[in-house]
Amino acid sequence: MFGKGILRGLATTARHFVETYIDDVKRIPSRYAFDRRLIKQPLDEEGIFTIQYPEEKRVLPEHFRYVPMLLFDVETGEDRCTACGICAKVCPPQCIWIVRDKDEKGKPVPRAAEFYIDISICMGCGFCAEFCPFDAIKMNHDYEIAVYNRYPDLVLDKDELTVPTTYYAQLYPTAWEREEKAREEERKKKEARAKAAAAKKAAAAKKAAAEKK
C-alpha cells in the first residue's frame, strides 16, 4: 500500500521519542541532581536523548578507536616499542616517524629515541596497532584533543603518545586479559624450550665425557 513505509517510519520515530523519555525518567534524579559528568548513555538504551556534552559523555565501546598511543610497560619499567618500524610501513597516510636509538658505541638498539605521529593526518584506521608484533601501540579513546594550531600541536612526540599499560588495561579490559594470557603462555613455552635446550646440552656433554673415558 502506498505510504506504508512512511507510516512505519513515523511509528519508529514515535517509539524512539517515547523511549527517550523513559530512558531519561529512569535517570532522575541522578541525571539532574548529582555530578552530571558521571552520567552516560549506554549503547544498549533505546531512546536517544540529547547528551549534554561536555558535561555528559557517551559510554564508549571497548574497541572504539581515535588516535594511537604508545605503551610503557609498568611491569618491566620499559617502553614496549622496539623501533622495528612496521607501524610506520603499514600506516596508509604515512604519518608515523621513528628514530631508532643507539648505544654509546653508536650501535642501533631496539628502542625508539624519537617517535612522532601527525594526528592531523592519522585517519584512525588502527593498522599500526593491528600489525605491531610487540603490542606496543594501541588506539586511545581520548578524543578531546582540539587545539588552536595544527602545527606543531597535532604532531605528538613520544612523551605525548606514551601511556602506562595500566591505562590500556582500563580502556581495553577484554583485550588486556586475552593478551596477558597469550603472553603468559608464550613465557611458559620459552621457559620449556630453554629447559629442553639445557637438558640436551647437558646430555651431550655427559655423552662426550663418557666417550673420552
Size of interface with ligand SF4, in residues (CB under 6 A): 26
134 binds ligand SF4 (CB under 6 A): yes
Integer Cα distance of 147 and 145 in angstroms: 6
Residues 16-75 that bind ligand SF4 (CB under 6 A): 68
108 binds ligand SF4 (CB under 6 A): no
* Out of 93, 108, 164, 173, the residue judged to bind ligand SF4 by CB under 6 A: 93
Closest CA to 117 of 98, 142, 101: 98
128 binds ligand SF4 (CB under 6 A): yes
- The nearer residue to ligand SF4, 137 or 171, going by C-beta atoms, is 137
CA atoms within 13 A on the CB side of 30: 10
Strands (E), the chain: 68-73, 78-79, 96-102, 108-118, 137-139, 155-156, 162-164
Per CB under 6 A, which region of 14-22, 116-124, 166-174, 188-196 contacts ligand SF4? 116-124
Closest CA to 49 of 31, 37, 34: 31
Amino acid at 199: A
- The nearer residue to ligand SF4, 31 or 87, going by C-beta atoms, is 87
C-alpha cell of residue 212: 673420552
- The nearer residue to ligand SF4, 41 or 116, going by C-beta atoms, is 116
Residue found by looking up cell 639445557 in the block: 198
- Nearest distance in Å: CB 100, ligand SF4: 9
Binding residues for ligand SF4, per CB under 6 A? 68, 81-87, 91-93, 95-96, 98, 117, 122-128, 132, 134, 136-137
